[in-house]
Amino acid sequence: MPTPVFASIAEPEPYKPVDLKLSQHISKEYLSLRHGLISSVADKKVKTILFCASAKGEGNSTVLSNFGITLASIGNKVLLVDANSRDPSLHNFFELDNKEGLDELLLEEKSVDDVIRQTRFKNLSVITSGVSLTHFFTTQSLNSLIAKVEPFFDWILFDSPPIHSCTESRTLAAKMDCVVMVAQAESTRWEVAKSAKELIENNKIKVLGAVLNRRKWHIPGWIYKRL
């Protein structure tokens, strides 16, 4: 069964927060992603979501961050967790200190309260990667983390390493309510994306939907600004 595409996003400035008031078309696409997620699992509440890509450079962290900003802008309490130890970026994206983060929490050197950082966006918090950059994910540690933060947030979004780079993404996926794959439009080869999806689903974990990122629009940009 084909994976549904929940959103198709053009990002004029990758790696930077989108001004949703000025980028109404992009904002609509992120709201479409939210609607797609909720509609696809009508029988249960979606709260923990893993965002992953097949390879580095597809804009996974940017999509996750701007989706978090969109959710927070409509009043949801959102937590972003940087579980991408191979290439952490959320601290740079939100201009946060990365001295104490997920690594220190998993190693029990710091508490959840110590590592949650409030961003400049209302309702949006982040747990950065931390300094040791060697996440040791176990079922117990993930269960403990989710149990501690779940009561305080409406959405908890995890950024992960590319599927083909390591097994960490699959470990994380097993503990999420759902998984969303990000692919760079008109760039990612379908064979590569299909292989990444199969690696996840071979562990009986369903990829709920996909986001096409950095889509190139083939009509003048000013038209989209008026949509």
Is residue 167 within 8 A of residue 202, CB to CB? The reply is no
Pick the CATH number of 5-225 from 3.40.1280.10, 3.40.50.1370, 3.40.50.150, 3.40.50.300: 3.40.50.300
pLDDT in tens, 121-168: 999 999 999 886 666 677 788 888 999 999 999 999 999 988 777 778
User: Distance from CA of residue 175 to its chain's centroid?
Assistant: 15
* Share in percent of the chain as helix, strand, coil (round to 5): 35, 20, 45
- Residue 22 confidence class, pLDDT cut points 50, 70, 90: very low
CB 136 within 8 A of CB 163: no
Percent of the chain whose predicted confidence (pLDDT) is above 70: 77
Whole-number percent of the chain with pLDDT over 90: 31
For the chain, domain boundaries: 5-225
pTM, to two decimals: 0.85
Q: Which of 4-8, 66-70, 156-160 is the least confident region?
A: 4-8
Q: Report pLDDT for 19.
A: 57
The answer to whether 91 touches 133, Cβ cutoff 8 Å, is: no
Q: Per-residue pLDDT tens for 92-113?
A: 999 999 988 998 888 888 899 9
Strand residue runs (E) in the chain: 5-9, 48-53, 78-82, 116-118, 124-127, 155-159, 178-184, 207-213
Average pLDDT score, the chain: 80
How many CB atoms are located within 10 Å of the residue 179 CB? 26
**Are the beta carbons of 129 and 99 closer than 8 angstroms?**
no
